[in-house]
């Protein structure tokens, strides 16, 4: 149930016919797992706590560095050297003290990852390396948990959603990025990156999350790779097809 404080705080969302009181209650009762507290996680987390998502679980094992401040806008100069999950948690609480935030200051191994994914209503992959992305994908597929994934490098961003609740044979992240891609540089520390592109992708993750939690479904086509070019401000969209040899979604059914 919503109290008077909730109605006042979230009145602009509740006024939307797609959300209403029932959608706001659904947000309040939801659990979101964010893996990665960098630029993507920063942008997504701030909008999710502002929107009233009831419980946020954030996971990362890094500390705040000065070079992070250019694009990871949740952090401040005095956060340098602190664990990201703790610094982020403090900032998120300042935005909305009503939200429950659980901090996991660790790189999740397969067993713990599977447990956290099982407890979440949706998972946001905000990590910065392909091996972690593959582990998250496999865990989400196994637990039938929706996966909202994004990445950014240079002036380019990518955004893709896999709704594993029912669509278990329409492809997964490993179909999109197979194992042979893992040897390629995959971290933004290996290349340059423009901050607003990261924020754009994180905001898309937050928007898709709110849409799912408040309405119960995505109002757009899932299993499509959306590619953003920050130099032209143009988007391209590509369908993701299942790799019939995929060890995650084609051979575990």
Report whether 52 contacts 9 (CB < 8 A).
yes
Q: Quick check: 205 and 126 in contact, CB under 8 A?
A: yes
Q: Is 246 a catalytic residue?
A: no
Structure tokens, 151: 């990445």
Q: Which helix (H) or strand (E) holds 147?
A: strand 147-153
Choose the catalytic residue: 172, 175, 188, 246.
188
Can you tell me the distance from the alpha carbon of 125 to that of 37, in angstroms, rounded to the nearest whole number? 10
How far apart are the C-alpha atoms of 105 and 63, rounded to whole Å? 10
CB 48 within 8 A of CB 93: no
Q: How many residues does the chain have?
A: 253
- Tell me if 34 sits within 8 A of 9, measured CB to CB: no
Give the separation between CA 37 and CA 64, rounded to whole angstroms: 10
SS3 159: strand
The residues that are catalytic are 188
């Amino acid at each position: 149930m919503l109290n008077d404080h909730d109605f006042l705080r979230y009145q602009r969302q509740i006024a939307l016919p797609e959300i209403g009181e029932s959608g706001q209650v659904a947000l309040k009762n939801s659990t979101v797992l964010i893996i990665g507290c960098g630029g993507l996680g920063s942008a997504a987390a701030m909008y999710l706590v502002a929107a009233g998502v009831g419980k946020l679980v954030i996971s990362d094992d890094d500390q705040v560095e000065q070079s992070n401040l250019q694009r990871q806008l949740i952090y401040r100069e005095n956060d340098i050297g602190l664990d990201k999950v703790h610094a982020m948690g403090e900032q998120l609480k300042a935005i909305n003290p009503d939200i429950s935030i659980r901090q996991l200051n660790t790189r999740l191994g397969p067993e713990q990852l599977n447990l956290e994914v099982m407890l979440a209503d949706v998972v946001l992959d905000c990590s910065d390396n392909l091996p972690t992305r593959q582990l998250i994908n496999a865990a989400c597929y196994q637990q039938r948990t929706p996966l909202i994934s994004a990445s950014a490098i240079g002036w380019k961003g990518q955004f893709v959603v896999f709704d594993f609740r029912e669509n278990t044979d329409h492809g997964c992240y490993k179909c999109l990025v197979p194992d042979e891609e893992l040897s390629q540089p995959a971290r933004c520390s290996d290349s340059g990156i423009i901050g607003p592109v990261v924020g754009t992708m994180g905001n898309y993750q937050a928007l898709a999350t709110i849409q799912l939690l408040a309405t119960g479904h995505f109002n757009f086509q899932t299993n499509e790779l959306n590619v953003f070019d920050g130099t032209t401000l143009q988007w391209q969209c590509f369908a993701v097809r299942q790799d019939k040899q995929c060890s995650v979604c084609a051979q575990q059914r």
